[in-house]
Chain A
Amino acid sequence: MRSSRGAFPFLTTIAVIGLASTGCAIGTGDSADDADVEYDPEATLDGELSVMGFSGVDEVATSRMDLAEQELGDGVDVQLIEGELDLQQFLSTVATGDPPDLVYANRDQIGSLAARDAILPLSRCIEGEGIDTSQFVESALAQVTLEGEVYGIPEFNVVQLTMANADLLAAAGLTIDDVNGSDWEAMSAANEALTKQGATGLEVIGIDSKLPEFFPLWAKAAGVDLISEDGREANLDDPEAVRALEWAVSIYDAQGGFADVKAYRDSADFFGEGNQFATGVLGAMPMEQWYLNVLADVSPDAPLAFDVVRDLQGEPIAYASGSAWAIPSGAENPEAACRWARAMTSLDAWEAAAQARLELREQEGKPFTGILTGNAEADELVRGMVTSGGEPWDAGVEAMYEANEHTFSLPANPADAEFEQAMQDAVNAVLTGEAEPADALADAQETAQQALDEAWERVEAEE
């Protein structure tokens, strides 16, 4: 009995340690703000600036970082917490009251972070540091704006182009206009003409409609916004969205089904000389603009043809995504964070980045194909520095800039992860033959709307 009594205080101590340590993991519950912070572009700053989610590995990053560090001055010590933003790691730091000063996130994460008060509204930062938000690409800014408040400073823009194998098109008597999305019937016919089946299965993928990731692109091409502008209403079961999914899936069905196309696609050397266009095993697909650079590098002689992706009215269209800078709630140095975000996305920074890349490309004997910055004025500036790589690459760059002027995005909302998951689950269920498009999208609509309603309810309860 004496022994048991002796153990009691010891075990109690251990339990207290356990309680104390997990106490650190409990949410703060309070939403920090920056009401006391003075954002002044002329102010001398000091202290540490910890940046999470940004690695700064290439010349576009390092040239802008040099400029941003200059603007911060010698008093600020920049510490990069490298690697892609780990959402749980970041939120844990906010919950324990020790967040980084700045995070570099995907723009589609901003809505959820803002709704949870994990990041600050940037109106005071924007006004104080004099950030001209009218310069930003409209869809990029919309993606970081929740309930009229801007929560992120956008940078980079990713858009889609129609990429096609010109030789295969010519052999089938087709042109790029037949596969750019402007006429779905023509595109289905082109798909059948381009597809080649052999004794061992698929030998040429006619068209890859790039599901499930580009479903919002095809829905928008049919005139449907999958979520309302205010981020509150899902619109996944719109009849035109159903039609878009039916058509995009039919592209795979005509080639033996998604399973065969994906298996064949996965076996390709996507980033190498043996890519699908160079080896003549893919007719056409919509693809992000960065792949143009990959193709130009690894297979400069591949017979490519480029155009924008077009909607059913023949107008250019692109489903934009990108990154954004955001200041966490409870950041210790929001002044430095705001100045960094301004400097990194300024015209001077993008000009320096473009110059650095241009020089590198010239050293390599390759053309400079431009950068989509998320800042419309910077895009124009950089476009003027683009060098010719000859055809078809110049046409590709031209299409890239045209697409950049016709972008849309899914608006910021507090349930972006759940919404995207519901949407992808629906498309995947159709692709694997487990559901019909109308049923799958009806289920997704219910799931997504429930997630949105619950998330908005939480947001409004906290206000």
Chain B
Amino acid sequence: MKRREWIAALGFLSPWLIGFAVFTAWPIVYSAYLSLTDYDVINDATFVGWSNYQELFADPKVSLALANTLFFTVVQVPLYVIVSLALALLLNRAGRASGFFRTVFFLPKMTPPVAVGFLFLLLFNGQNGLINGGLAAVGIDGPSWTTDPAWVKPGLVIMSLWTVGSSVLILLAALRGVPEELYESATLDGAGAWRRFASVTLPMISPAVFFIVVVNTIAGLQTFDEAYTAFFGAGNSTYSNDAALFYVIYLFQQAFEFLHMGYASAMAWVLFIVIMAITAVQMILSKRLVHYEGAAS
């Protein structure tokens, strides 16, 4: 590429590059530095070496928050994929009504997370909530979803399914991309419905499923909005249920309530490493489990 073309290209890219440098790249680098300091926003940062990390590994609330977050992610991601896939399969057979249902399923995704948090408290109220009302109708005595620590996370997992709409659309697109002749061949070979699903559908949509798994795992490990609104936000700030203390919520408390910016930055880097490690494992597993059409086997 000629020098003038380089300059022209950089000129066109510069708005994004400057934005990236100022608002993403440099804050990332700077947070790495802050993680080695004691910094309260207003006074100069004091270099403390690795002590934030040492303190972090000894902090029982970090362990608690991490355990809560991992539990949420491990339960939520498979459930999210299963529900998304089930709805996508149904939509795939919905014919002319498909467009209407696609819109309906996607609408909840447009709801602000704060509203979802409040909705959670209303729907899952142990005494008068709609969920327990429904369970009571079939003879089940529902739990105290919002106040019993054992049921807080399962409740939040169920509530998170509220936003499966976008994943449903991705999976629906993948399902529609499966060549019809593969099903015809399988049928001619005597494959039943389950066999066709397991041997044709799943492998063919596995890249889309993998994408949803990776993205939702990262989102799950960064869960914040709904749980914060429901258990730590205005009106509930005094009832900060430990069962809903997710990692990013504790990070937020350290940064913006206690102004321990150095400690919070160290927490952010630990989370980054955890996410990176989990994503790396998923990428390695994907080589065995994900089928890319046309890729060398």
Contacts and interface: CB of A to CB of B under 8 A. Distances in A.
Interface of A: 2-3, 6-7, 10-11, 14-15, 17-19, 21-22, 26-29, 87-88, 91-92, 94-95, 112, 116-118, 200-202, 212-213, 258-260, 262-264, 266-267, 417-418, 421, 424-425, 428-429, 432-434, 462
Contacts of B253: 421
B27 interface: yes
Contact of B3 (A6, A87, A91): A6
B41 A88 contact: yes
Contact of B42 (A94, A417, A424): A94
A260 B242 contact: no
Contact of A212 (B125, B128, B129, B239): B239
Given A14-B17, A91-B259, A428-B242, A260 B126 contact: yes
Given A6-B3, A21-B26, A28-B43, 11 more contacts: A10-B14, A21-B22, A27-B43, A87-B257, A88-B256, A259-B126, A259-B144, A259-B148, A262-B146, A432-B242, A433-B149
Nearest to A203: B127
Name, among A95, A117, A213, A262, the residue most crowded by chain B CB atoms within 10 Å (CB to CB): A262
Given A14-B21, A18-B21, A417 B258 contact: yes
A195 B258 CA distance: 40
19 contacts: A3-B2, A11-B17, A18-B22, A21-B22, A22-B26, A27-B39, A29-B43, A87-B259, A117-B42, A212-B238, A213-B238, A262-B147, A263-B125, A266-B146, A267-B125, A267-B128, A421-B253, A432-B149, A432-B241
Contacts of A26: 44-45
Nearest to B132: A263
B127 A267 contact: yes
B239 A27 contact: no
Contacts of B219: none
B27 A27 contact: no
Contacts of B18: 14, 17
A19 B26 contact: yes
Nearest to A451: B258
Contacts of B42: 27-28, 91, 94-95, 116-118
B126 A432 contact: no
Nearest to B44: A29
B40 A27 contact: yes
Given A3-B1, A259-B148, A421 B257 contact: yes
Contacts of A6: 3, 6-7, 10
B134 to A, nearest CB: 14
B121 interface: yes
B256 A266 contact: no
A425 B240 contact: yes
Nearest to A28: B42
Contacts of A91: 40-42, 259
Given A95-B41, A421-B257, A3 B126 contact: no
A92 B41 contact: yes
A266 B43 contact: no
Contacts of A200: 127, 136
Nearest to B20: A14
B21 A7 contact: no
Interface in B216-249: 238-243
A2 B6 CA distance: 10
Interface in B10-24: 10, 14, 17-18, 21-22
B241 A462 contact: no
Contact of B147 (A21, A259, A434): A259
Contacts of A17: 18, 21-22
Interface in B132-148: 136, 144, 146-148
Contacts of A433: 149
B182 interface: no
A6 B259 CA distance: 42
A260 B42 CA distance: 43
Name, among A10, A95, A266, A425, the residue most crowded by chain B CB atoms within 10 Å (CB to CB): A266
B242 A425 contact: yes
A426 to B, nearest CB: 11
Interface in B167-214: none
Given A18-B25, A27-B41, A425-B242, A258 B147 contact: yes
A28 B1 CA distance: 46
Interface in B60-116: none
A330 to B, nearest CB: 10
B40 A116 contact: yes
A337 B129 CA distance: 49
B36 to A, nearest CB: 15
A390 B239 CA distance: 36
A2 B3 CA distance: 7
B272 interface: no
B30 interface: yes
A10 B11 CA distance: 9
Name, among B21, B22, B127, B128, the residue most crowded by chain A CB atoms within 10 Å (CB to CB): B127
Contacts of A92: 41
A358 to B, nearest CB: 30
Name, among A3, A94, A212, A213, the residue most crowded by chain B CB atoms within 10 Å (CB to CB): A3
B149 A434 contact: yes
B243 A432 contact: yes
A430 B21 CA distance: 47
A293 to B, nearest CB: 19
Nearest to A454: B38
A308 B271 CA distance: 49
B234 to A, nearest CB: 9
Nearest to B27: A22
Contacts of A262: 146-147, 239
A26 B45 CA distance: 8
Q: Which 3 pairs across A and B sit closest by C-beta, in order of nearness?
A: A18-B26, A29-B44, A263-B126
Nearest to A213: B238
Contacts of A266: 121, 125, 127, 146
Contacts of B17: 11, 14
Nearest to A11: B17
A3 B9 CA distance: 11
A462 B127 contact: no
A434 B238 contact: no
A213 B3 CA distance: 67
B64 to A, nearest CB: 10
Nearest to B259: A91
Given A28-B42, A259-B126, A266-B125, A428 B239 contact: yes
A456 B154 CA distance: 41
